[in-house]
Amino acid sequence: MNAPSPFADHILPVLPQPYLVFLGDTTEPGYAKTAFGLRDWARDMCVGEYACSPDAVSAGLRAMTPAEAKAAGARSMVIGVANPGGVIPESWTAALVEALDSGLSIISGLHMRLKDSPVLREAAARSGQKLIDVRVPPRNIPVGTGRKRSGKRLLAVGTDCALGKKYATLAIAQAFKERGINCDFRATGQTGIMISGGGMPMDAVISDFEAGAAEMLSPDATDDHWDVIEGQGSLYHPAYAAVSLGLLHGSQPDVFVVCHQPGRKTILGLPDFPLPTIEEVIALTIMLGKRTNPDIRCGGIAFNTSDLSAEQAEELMARESERLGLPVADPIRKGPAFEALVASCLGDE
């Protein structure tokens, strides 16, 4: 019998929704992943988009001023783009102040904190609105205990960073809910937190408390409840393996899904480090995961086949599924392969 969670009274922050998505003056689509993620997974929570330059990238949402968005029901403006260094440039300041004065709080996942800007602090105080930095973990995160918790958990792990762990877990959580399963998506990164309205910014947690943060994120639950937990980094990443291991131990998943992008040969940004094989990731995840859940198992593999045609993707996934003896699917393409992956995760094969 599991003891009550000692962390149950730690409440994670909930973000004010709906959102107005701010695109700044960013012209590079690669820097707008947060905006695109919100568009793809939380479109009903996005009333529109706002840019401070006519040349800015668009997420395809309705163009609105902050005042128009407030009238349409928006409660906050989310900074949906990032730039090198994660700073707030002066060219954005007037637009951010306009949003605050229009009655919208500001939400940011950048490295630079909103409250570090005297101008924004003054505008927030004047308007009574909030400056919310989602890359700031809650206070008093406890050290992990390793205690087995009630409920069921699924964690995404990866052969590398930035290859689809967030999209995979969002798709799996959606599929679980469509099957009538009691389920929550647990966000561990800034975009996931903005999509779901709450979560734990694992990459901002001090290493000693990573496992404890994961335990807070996924507390005791009923036996029929699933937490589908967004993964971070890779156990094989020379720089980011620490957050991956802490998340694995604290999540103590019953099932994990390996996320991989076919064609990637080396660790992103570190060309001297070859990508591990899927088999290596499965073996290492089971070996390390058994420390806090001896019954951990692999439910299958999620491929990011965005660079392949539908025919190429289907052929590759079928071949890899046969070779590995596990379901292989692209969660975005869906189809029978994805249904098989979901069934495997649930133990319904």
- Which CATH number is 241's domain given? 3.40.50.300
Q: Are residues 61 and 103 in the same domain?
A: yes
pLDDT above 70 coverage of the chain, percent: 96
Q: Are residues 59 and 157 in the same domain?
A: no
Q: Are residues 70 and 186 in the same domain?
A: no
Q: Are residues 191 and 304 in the same domain?
A: yes
What is the Cα–Cα distance from 290 to 22, expressed in whole angstroms?
43
Q: Are residues 192 and 265 in the same domain?
A: yes
Which residues does 339 contact at the CB level (< 8 Å), separation at least 6? 175
Q: Are residues 82 and 229 in the same domain?
A: no
Give domain status of residue 143, yes or no. no
SS3 165: helix
Which pLDDT belongs to residue 87? 85
What is the Cα–Cα distance from 154 to 298, expressed in whole angstroms?
10
Last residue of a domain, one of 114, 129, 144: 129
Q: Are residues 226 and 263 in the same domain?
A: yes
Give domain status of residue 134, yes or no. no
| Mean pLDDT of the chain, nearest integer | 92
Q: Report the CATH number at residue 95.
A: 3.40.50.720
Please give the tally of structural domains in the chain: 2
Model confidence at 13, pLDDT cuts 50, 70, 90, reads low
Q: Are residues 317 and 202 in the same domain?
A: yes
Summarised one tens digit per residue, pLDDT across range 116-165 is 999 999 999 999 999 999 888 888 899 999 999 999 999 999 999 988 99
The parent domain of residue 119 ranges over 19-129
pTM: 0.86
Model confidence at 20, pLDDT cuts 50, 70, 90, reads very high
Q: Are residues 47 and 180 in the same domain?
A: no
Q: Are residues 64 and 198 in the same domain?
A: no
Closest CA to 338 of 170, 150, 163: 170
What is the Cα–Cα distance from 172 to 332, expressed in whole angstroms?
10
Give domain status of residue 140, yes or no. no
What is the Cα–Cα distance from 284 to 341, expressed in whole angstroms?
21
Count the Cβ atoms, other than its own, within 10 Å of residue 329. Answer: 29
Q: Are residues 206 and 294 in the same domain?
A: yes
Summarised one tens digit per residue, pLDDT across range 208-235 is 999 999 999 999 999 999 999 999 999 9
Give domain status of residue 200, yes or no. yes
Q: Are residues 252 and 114 in the same domain?
A: no
Give the pLDDT mean for 315-323. 97
Give domain status of residue 135, yes or no. no
Give domain status of residue 144, yes or no. no
Termini Cα distance of the chain: 28
Give domain status of residue 13, yes or no. no
Give domain status of residue 8, yes or no. no
Count the Cβ atoms, other than its own, within 10 Å of residue 216. Answer: 24
Task: Output the CA angle 220-284-217, nearest 5 degrees.
Answer: 20
What is the Cα–Cα distance from 233 to 202, expressed in whole angstroms?
10
